[in-house]
Amino acid sequence: MSLISAACRLKLVVRCGLFYTGPVGQAQSYVERVGLSNLAGWVRTVWVQRTGPRPYEQRNLPTGGVEMQCPIGAVPRLVGPLTAASVQVLPAHTAVVGVRFWPGAAASLIGVPADELVDLTVGLDQVWGDAGVRLGELLAGAPGPDAALGLLQRYLVGRRARADHPDPVVAEAVRRLMPWQPVEVGVLSGQLAISASQLRRRFLAMVGVGPKALQRTLRFQGYLALAQAAAAPGGRRVSRLADLAAELGYADEAHLSRECLRLTGVTCRELLGGAADRCGCGHDHAASYLPFLVGRARAVRTG
């Protein structure tokens, strides 16, 4: 029987992505950072978002992982892995703190198979009961969003100490599916000494999607990492979208464009604010994308 009741299977319309379609500046702010060292290997990034005096529209992108979102003053919620973009309007004067987990890392910590959360959002009280409500109350009592984010991370450190470790086979498979490490999914199971059907079953439970779907998502995240890096001071601007496509292993520019439309609902140029080779969203996502860029540098050194 499913751990999540049918009544909780709401259409996903909440934040799980990194790019925004509304104005930046005073309209809203988004700051992300690396999580506590005790959460390394579990958490990809943590963040604080504040909206201004007007509602704010944003596009939520697939990242491959589960996300915990905690609107200050409300019950926290879990957002499962996205397979396509979702657009959400955040209310005015809202503060949200959150944690984005690495693919395959959240299921054992949360206690719910990841495939029960795909493209869904559920209140944390529906999974943890009163403990989910109490976590919301704890964060609401913090003196501000930054302090609430610290409380949230320390809470997860305590829970991690009592949780099972992520599936080591899945964790290794996720590592090998990262961008700049071209591997055929059909070959991956042989490398890990496990049958393809067993690997898929374990992926569905821990990640929520199969290895091929995750590989496509992570490859696109690599593209966004390059676009973010190109927008940084001194960043290398790529002259053609085809160059990015080739570096990431897409067949050609058209292949990258199709994947962007499939995963985000818009073209590369629309997604990145008028450019296709650098991120124009107005926020620094270095904490989230640094692991992708480190992997790229390692691949270049060993290539």
What CATH number did the domain enclosing 260 receive? 1.10.10.60
**Both 147 and 255 in a single domain?**
no
Give the domain-ending residue among 160, 193, 227.
Answer: 160
What is the pTM (predicted TM-score) of this model? 0.87
pLDDT (mean) for 193-217: 96
**Both 201 and 184 in a single domain?**
yes
**284 vs 302, more confident:** 284
**Both 212 and 111 in a single domain?**
no
Residue 130: pLDDT above 60? yes
What CATH number did the domain enclosing 106 receive? 2.60.120
Q: Provide the domain limits for residue 191.
A: 168-302
DSSP string for 189-215? HHHTTS-HHHHHHHHHHHTSS-HHHHH
3 inside domain: no
4 inside domain: no
- Burial of residue 253 (CB within 10 Å: 0-12, 13-18, 19+) is middle
**Both 36 and 93 in a single domain?**
yes
φ, ψ at 48 (rounded to 5°): -130, 130
Name the pLDDT band for 229 (thresholds 50, 70, 90). confident
- pLDDT tens-place string over residues 77-86: 998 999 998 7
Rounded CA-CA distance 86/84 in Å is 7
Give the domain-ending residue among 160, 191, 212.
Answer: 160
**Both 110 and 201 in a single domain?**
no
Name the pLDDT band for 242 (thresholds 50, 70, 90). confident
1 inside domain: no
Rounded CA-CA distance 178/220 in Å is 10
CB atoms inside a 10 Å sphere around CB 10? 12
**Both 187 and 81 in a single domain?**
no
Say what the pLDDT of residue 303 is: 57
Give the domain-ending residue among 160, 186, 216.
Answer: 160
Rounded CA-CA distance 76/65 in Å is 17
- CA–CA distances in Å: residue 169 to residues 16, 101, 188, 196: 26, 17, 11, 12
pLDDT (mean) for 36-54: 94
Mean pLDDT of the chain: 86
**Both 221 and 249 in a single domain?**
yes
pLDDT (mean) for 112-135: 95
Tally of domains within the chain: 2
Instruction: Report yes or no: 72 and 138 within 8 Å, Cβ to Cβ.
Output: no
Say what the pLDDT of residue 10 is: 34
Where are the alpha helices (H) located in 58-195, listed in sequence order?
Answer: 106-110, 125-128, 130-140, 145-160, 168-176, 185-191
Q: Which of 47-61, 167-181, 196-210 has the lowest mean pLDDT?
A: 47-61
Instruction: Give the rounded percent of residues in the chain with a pLDDT score beyond 90.
Output: 60
pLDDT (mean) for 131-154: 97
Rounded CA-CA distance 119/79 in Å is 7
Rounded CA-CA distance 3/110 in Å is 11
